[in-house]
Structures are given as C-alpha cells and as structure tokens.
Structure 1
C-alpha cells in the first residue's frame, strides 16, 4: 500500500487565550464543531520546545461546510512569545492561512461591516481565484479565497482552511516537497514582480516570485469529502530585502501559525517517501497517541526552510460525543471515504454562541 493524503486536516495557530480565539474563529470562520479540547503536556515535541516538555491547552475545531480545521494552541506552562520582528511577506514559514468562501464579495462586505481588518480589496492574479486578505485580532493574516467544492451548504459565508501562503528561499527546491511528496502537482500560475494586490501587506512592496499550486487528483480517504480540495502559494523574495525565519528564536506553539497538518493514511510508506526526498521525520509518535476524545499517530517534517509540516493518521475520532460514539478507523480501507451522514453527525457537537 502507498500512502494516502486525505487533505489539510488543520492549521495550527498559537495564541494567548485559546477559548477567546476560538470564539472569534467560530464567528468569522464558522469553526464551531470541536473534535477535541484537551489540556496536556506536549512531551514529544522536544526538538521545537527548547528540549523540555511543555504544558498546553489545545482545541481542534472544524467548519462542517467543508475545509480543514484549526488547532488553536495555547501554552499553559509559559508565556507564548511574539516574533521579535515584524513578519513580512516572503519570510520563511507560514505567512497566511487560506480560508475558502462560496461568495468572496459578501464575505468582504460582512467583514467590513463587523470591523474585521481587511488588508486588501478583492482581487485576482492570473488564473487564480478571487480573494482578499484580512487580519484576526491576534495579528494573524488570512486570505479569503473563492472556492467551489463543498461538503454541505450551511448558508455560511466561509468554509474552513483551504491552504496557506508559505515563504520559501527557493521555489524549485521547495517543490520537491510540496509537489513531489504532498501531491500539489498543478501550477495555476507562476508570476514574478511587484503586485498591486500585495502592497497593503507587510513586505508587500518588494519583488517576489509567487507560485500557486493545486492538486489534479481528488483526495481520497475517510475525511476527504469534508476536507476537500486545497491550494498552497509559495512566495520567494527576489530583491529588496533579506527574508528571515518567522520562528527564528522561538518555540513551536508560540504566537502565530505553528504548522500545517495533513490527514494521512499509510504513515510508514509516507515516512519512506519523505526520507527518499530528503525530508526525514523529526518527530514521530510511532504508535497511537491519545488526546482524550481522539487518537492517532502523528509526525513532523521540516520543509527546506524549516517550516513545520505535520502528518496525522487518525485512529479514533468522536462522531457523537453525547452518545459516546467513537469511530475506530484502523481497520478501514485507507482510500474509502466515510459515509456523508456519518461525517455530518459530528455537527451534533456544534457550539452555538
């Protein structure tokens, strides 16, 4: 068996107050279905937490209209640290999360009416989708992107996570991971220059090369219908300044986008593929880790510039917590999607404000 990537499971966001942040993400990104909420010690991430286990509080929340989720992550044993410098477009790491929307114009108008900081007007690059950039109250930038694939229609202005904008030093080198391992094999555009649509962003006035990647094949696996399609934009600064690593001098879990996580099956085969392309696992839970309401195996790699990519092979997931219904995925056919009614049943845990 080869490995299966079902889609982007979640983007990790380090915050000071996870409950407060989740309330905002519920309101403006529709991430109102919790998969788990857990207080525990992050004991396996020692390469990225100063060599010591760190206590944390984490919430994994989904938008059931479709798309990936949010892992909202808060240190409880130390004060999470902000970047010591102003993060700019093209700095190495996750600059922006992407959020899918069925109607970008209506979303833009709603955000403006609610005082959400919109950093750009609606625009399109080449054959890319309509989109605009906005900032959450915690300084994180999101790109709201036009999308057409949906798990269900909940009459919401957005779905969940659709991808990320990632700063890299060499796009050609980065493609050996994002294209050859993660399967983003369709190049929507490859543009170089300065862009009017980026000028309002931090660092958006310098020349860059930007490449938008999608995957030609439909994703497969248990949660593929919900997670859906996704896209990544790689951005390389081509002049005007020297980029920096976004997490330089900080820990995983500090403030900002801490990782991009993919839902996978066939972790051993994926590990071999990553190693063959020069991306060995730097963290591997090896067997099943237990997060109370969910369980699985997780691992991490670094892209060529140190950006953390997480893989999760889900073994147990709650479907109806109130009834004690937890689904064991270990013996399912890796490419077979779950019945849509079963995935929809997760909505019974929805948190309403």
Structure 2
C-alpha cells in the first residue's frame, strides 16, 4: 500500500485539567464531538519522556464543521510544567494552532462578547487572508482564519484545526519533512522581514523568514472530507538563535505537544522516512487501543525535535452503546467514506 497523507487529524494539547479545558474548547471553538476518551499508561513514548512511562488522561475532540481535532492530554501522576522561559514567536515547536472560520467578523464579535483574550483585531496575512489571534486561559495561542471549506454547517463560529505555525531554526531543512514527506508542496508565500500581523504576538516584532505551505493536490482518504485542506506555516527568527519550547520538559507537559496526521500506508511511510533520515522514534508496530478506537501509530521528529504523529485508524466507534463501529481495514484506503457515515460522528456530541 502506498503512503497517503489524509489530513491533520489533531493537535495534542498538554493541560493541567484536560476536562476543564475541553469544556472551554467546546464553548469557544465548538469542539464537541468526543471521538474517544481514555485513561491509561503511555508506554511507548520514551523517546519524548526521558524513558518514563506516563500515566495520562486523553480525549479526542472534533468539530463537525470540519478540520482537525484536539487531543486534550493530561499527566495524571505528575504536575506538568509550563515553559521555563518566556517563549517567543520562532522558538522551535508548535507555537500557534490555526482554526478555520467561514465568517471572521461574526467569530471575532462572538469571541469578544465571550470575554476571550483577543490578541489582535482582524488583519490580513501576506497571502491576503483575514485572521486574528487569541489566547485560551492556559496561555496557548490560536489563530482564527477565514476559510470557505467546511464539512457540515454547525452553530459554532469556528471549525476545527486547519494548520499550525511552527518555529524552526532553518526553513529549508524543515521543508525536507513538511514539504517532502508531508506533501505540503505549494508555497503560498515565502517572505523575509517584519510583519504587521505578527506585532501583537510575543516576540512578533522581530525579523523572520516566514513560509506558508499548502498542498497542491487535495487530500484523499477515509476522513479527508472531514479533515479538509490545511497549511503549515514555518517561522525562522533571523536575529537570534531560537530556543526549544519544550526545553527541559517532557512530552505531554503544558502547551502544544504534537501535530498528528491521519494516514494510510504506514509501512511505506516508514520506509520513506527512514530513507530520508527521519526514522520512526515511536512505533506501535501492530495495533493500539485508545478507549474503543484502534489502529497503528508512529512518530518522527522534525529537524528541531518537534514531534509529528501518524495514525492509521483501523476501527472507530460511531455509536458505542449499539456496538456500531467503522472497520477501515476492509475499505479502499484512498477513498473517502460516504458523507452519511462520517456524519454519524455527531451522535458522539458532548453537551454541557
């Protein structure tokens, strides 16, 4: 089976109280579809946890507007630490998560009325897209960006994840992973200087090389319509050496802990990553269980050590009480599931 990158499945968010944070994300971003919820031991993540097994709670939340989800993640046997320094734009790791939005003005006014910490007014990026930045109560930064792609209209003012901003030490080296392996092969802009729309961010007044990557071909795969198109924005500081956001901390502590891609063809992907010098750092080998979801997961690190997860889903619960699951191993890996089938995920909505 050939490698196929189907889309951003989720971004992991390390939190002190994941259930409390999930309530906030439901209210602010409509992330109210509970795909799985699980308490267990993370035994395979030693590459990122200094060799430790970690007890954890995790839940995957989605939005039926479309886009990737959030994996809200919490250490349960240790107090997770925040960064030990003032993180600035361009420090290496995931700095911002992009949330899609069909009506930016409505979203901005709704978030303003909710008392959310808005970091900027709506402004255009170098590609001419309107966007604004906000911070959650846990000091994570999100970018709400106008986007006309959606899967299923909802009452929420945003959809799900449509990309990330990643700090890198060398854009060209990072593109070996993001443009090549992950197939973000379309350069939407590649500019150097200072940027008006960065001014409201920590360290945003500095000089950067800033590259926005998209994919020239539509993503294919079982959940590709739901996950939708996405972008990766690479930001390299030019006047200083960046620091690692997770410096002296382990995976799962506070902040954006990984970006995860839904894929098919894990064996082909492994061979490609190895041939290009980015061998798997984690490999579940056969199958994993996350509550009632099952599949095969692996990780690589980008050149600066940022964790990138791949998940090949084998089984997904639709209505657990009825024992109704989607078995993806019996389906064409490059074909989208029927819309009606994906829409049954709405039966897993979590209501407050």
Question: What's the TM-score bracket when you normalise by the shorter of the two chains?
Answer: over 0.9
| Residues in 2 aligned to 1:126 and 1:245: alpha-carbon distance in whole angstroms | 26
Tell me which residue corresponds to 1:338: 337
Tell me which residue corresponds to 1:83: 83
Post-superposition shift, 1:219? 0.5
Deviations 1:232-277 (A, max 9, x none): 10000011x3210000110000000000000000001011111122
| Residues in 1 aligned to 2:111 and 2:216: alpha-carbon distance in whole angstroms | 32
Tell me which residue corresponds to 1:13: 13
SS of the aligned residue for 2:155 comes to: coil
- Is contact 2:8–2:68 with CA below 8 Å preserved after alignment? yes
| Residues in 2 aligned to 1:156 and 1:26: alpha-carbon distance in whole angstroms | 9
| Residues in 2 aligned to 1:202 and 1:301: alpha-carbon distance in whole angstroms | 28
Deviations 1:151-191 (A, max 9, x none): 11113210001110000011111111101110101111111
Tell me which residue corresponds to 1:41: 41
Deviations 1:98-122 (A, max 9, x none): 1000011111111111111111111
Post-superposition shift, 1:128? 4.0
- Is contact 1:35–1:293 with CA below 8 Å preserved after alignment? no
Tell me which residue corresponds to 1:22: 22
Deviations 1:21-66 (A, max 9, x none): 0000101111101011100000000111121211000010100110
**What is the RMSD of the two structures over their aligned residues, measured on CA atoms?**
0.9
- Is contact 1:116–1:136 with CA below 8 Å preserved after alignment? yes
- Is contact 1:97–1:161 with CA below 8 Å preserved after alignment? yes
Is there any run of 5+ residues in structure 2 with no aligned partner, and where? none
Post-superposition shift, 1:126? 2.6
Tell me which residue corresponds to 2:207: 207
> Normalising to structure 2: TM-score of the pair?
0.98
> Normalising to structure 1: TM-score of the pair?
0.98
- Is contact 1:128–1:188 with CA below 8 Å preserved after alignment? no
| Residues in 1 aligned to 2:164 and 2:233: alpha-carbon distance in whole angstroms | 6
| Residues in 2 aligned to 1:289 and 1:335: alpha-carbon distance in whole angstroms | 22
SS of the aligned residue for 1:180 comes to: helix
CA distance change for structure 1 residues 277 and 128 in 2, over 3 Å: closer, same or farther? Answer: farther
Deviations 1:192-227 (A, max 9, x none): 111121111101111001111110111111000100
